[in-house]
Amino acid sequence: MTIDASVIIPSLGRLDQLRNCIGGVLSQDSDYVIEIVVVVDGLDSESLAKTIESEFRGRAELLFDSSLERRGSAAAKNIGAHKAQGDLLVFIDDDTVPARSWLRSIIESYSDDVVGVGGSERKRGRQPFLRRLLFFIQGNRTGRVTKSGMVISNFTPEKKSNVYVDCLPGCNMSFRREVFLQSGGFDENYVGTAYREETDFCMRIRPHGKLLFVPIAVVDHAEHEYGGNSPSSYRDWNYWYHRNNTYFFLKNFRPVSKPLWVRHCLVELTIAVSRMFLSLDPSPIGTMRSGIADGKKMSAGLRG
């Protein structure tokens, strides 16, 4: 039997959230043949996997991989992708709950020239002021990666129509399985919060075809402050933001001219200063410096 889609859910110690996520996938209003691949990343993986298997026995074809000690989101997604058998690989976070029409909207949006489809995320509460301001300044565009390496996400369900994009949201994205494997999967150097892992992969898969953003394919994203890729502190979050953002920039926009590098550093500094004033915490400046230095070192290691 042909499997239309494999829904891949990486998870780290969040039983309640994972339970709700799987329940949402099982409640889809479509007749497509799917499998659910759960990759439990962490020390309690076997216990969590056994609990979920027992609760959903008979209701779903659940494929588990709980062999990871703690390798991160990119590694978990790659393991899920290689385990999956569906024609489409659909990635969602374990703290999301998809709308009933979500999977049908994803699958039916594919055409011959489309290699990836992503949906929107409805976040709990209002977006932070700084984030909304940046989207306004950038023309309220969606899923764009500029020539200078800036990334504009803005994957909100308020968007009214489908649009071709440069990148897709990490919590709600899908790709043709064959093309995903040809492109090498996610770069496992994106550790910590895994920030930019999905954008980096989209940069590599784009030469194979188009990426389409479908706002009606919505998931509710709780973005819990524990488990998953959540950092242990605000300082850690800032560090991984600058580290992974710098690694992404230097990896994907080589050769980087001196003016472009200076521009990148100025943008990072502007964001760090803004966060410093909004949080009344001086740490974003220090974490920016260490994050940029480590991102640069990682990029240099790739070239070597």
Angstrom distance (rounded) from CA 289 to CA 88:
40
Backbone phi and psi for residue 112, each to the nearest 5 degrees, phi listed first: -60, -35
* Closest residue by Cα to residue 103 from 16, 223, 219: 219
Angstrom distance (rounded) from CA 15 to CA 137:
39
Transcribe 235-247 into DSSP letters.
Answer: HHHHHHHHHHHHH
pLDDT given at position 227 = 46
Structure tokens at 286: 């220090």
Q: DSSP secondary-structure letter at 90?
A: E
pLDDT given at position 47 = 80
Structure tokens at 9: 């859910």
Backbone phi and psi for residue 257, each to the nearest 5 degrees, phi listed first: -75, 160
Domains of the chain, with CATH numbers? 5-221 (3.90.550.10), 234-303 (no CATH)
Angstrom distance (rounded) from CA 22 to CA 34:
12
In sequence order, which residues have a C-beta less than 8 Å from that of residue 33 and are 6 or more positions away? 1, 2, 3, 4, 5
End-to-end CA distance of the chain: 46
Going by their DSSP bridges, the two strands 88-92 and 172-176 should be labelled as antiparallel
- Mark the ranges of the chain whose per-residue pLDDT is less than 70: 1, 43-44, 68-70, 125-140, 223-232, 303-304
pLDDT given at position 184 = 95
* Closest residue by Cα to residue 239 from 295, 188, 288: 288
Going by their DSSP bridges, the two strands 151-152 and 96-98 should be labelled as unpaired
